[in-house]
Amino acid sequence: MKARRSGRKLLSKPQARAIIEQALKKVRLEGKRVLVVTPDCTRSGPTSFIFKTLSELLLPRVSRLDFLIALGTHQPMTREAQNSLYGISEAQRKGKFARVGIYNHQWQSSENLKEVGVLSAAELENLSQGMLKSEVRVALNKMIFDYDQLILYGPVFPHEVAGMSGGHKYLCPGIAGPDIINFTHWLGALLTSFEIIGKVDTPVRAVIERVSRMVPVPALGISAVVSGEDGLAGLFAGKVYESWKKAAALSSRLHIRWVEKPFRLVISVIPKMYEDMWTGAKGMYKVEPVVADGGEVIIYAPHIREISYTHGKLLDQVGYHCRDYFVKQWDRVKDFPGGVLAHSTHL
């Protein structure tokens, strides 16, 4: 596995390109069909650099190159938003990158999903450390079966549901169907964001890795550790789990700030990249561990006008409550999607 991490000095683009190039040389890609899975606009990082670098390195070698945006249950990206994400103009998309397909994941469309396996109640009880015991059918975007090689790119940060983002999380829940998405998010809610965020090994991650083993298509991982908006403190390329694990270790050192005592009041300023409170709620997740008991978080997001463009009607019915509000009256809420209940408890 090719890897590079920096101390105070960030990686240059030539250094990052060299890491990616070396990793790609070790994979037989001549004449192959390659699908790159990337995050959407809610994840900061050098996504446009990755898009252009992979396109330049792979187009001369492969028969087909496409990019799939791992939206999870986020809003579909418009063509204009896709261009912005990948740092290209419409003219470039129709010209230089005309051979490159760009697609949104469609989590609600059964026609675009394919079942890859079933997780038994007994196995999930074991993976979830006894928190949940129910059978779950696992479906992923069926596009992946049209390719010979997957490349999973994404930044690695502390994450409120999985512990750390990135790696195989771009398969599940990134390009997954509703059942496994809701399962993993409700499991994370039961464990609580407070206990999970920033931890590398979690029950949710165990489920994610189990799902990844259901995928028959080989995958290469490119895991980035971001500094600032899109600077690179580290870049790891190779086997997905190994590259993610190394990136997670570096992220743990760089992205977790320890304080001497908790705060009574935290003002969390939400970037404009988050268009609704469903995504902007990260302003709560990331600061919750440093809020004192009885403390307060003020989410400052004057640009947000919607609770959730995708799940708003359901949240209007559910409201916002703590975990035990749902657990102690489960019969009343059991038919709501686990992802919606999870968001409610986290915020």
344: in domain: no
Give residue-wise pLDDT tens across range 272-295: 989 999 999 999 999 999 999 999
pLDDT-based confidence at residue 313 (cuts at 50, 70, 90): very high
138: in domain: yes
What is the per-residue pLDDT for 6?
46
Give residue-wise pLDDT tens across range 133-158: 999 999 999 999 999 999 999 999 99
221: in domain: yes
Best CA proximity match to 163, nearest among 219, 130, 208, 119? 208
Averaged over 37-52, what is the pLDDT? 94
CATH code at position 166: 3.40.50.11440
Give residue-wise pLDDT tens across range 292-311: 999 999 999 999 999 999 99
Burial class (CB in 10 A: 0-12, 13-18, 19+), 16: buried
pLDDT-based confidence at residue 85 (cuts at 50, 70, 90): very high
40: in domain: yes
263: in domain: no
114: in domain: yes
341: in domain: no
Averaged over 47-62, what is the pLDDT? 98
Give me the domain span that covers residue 171. Answer: 2-256
* pTM across the whole model: 0.93
Sign of CA dihedral 194, 195, 200, 202: negative
More reliable by pLDDT, 105 or 8: 105
Amino acid at 165: S
310: in domain: no
Report residue 21 as tokens: 């190039």
pLDDT-based confidence at residue 4 (cuts at 50, 70, 90): low
What is the per-residue pLDDT for 347?
85
Q: Could you give the CA distance from residue 214 to residue 179 in angstroms, rounded to a whole number?
A: 15
Give me the number of domains the chain comprises. 1
- The chain-wide mean pLDDT, for the chain, equals 95
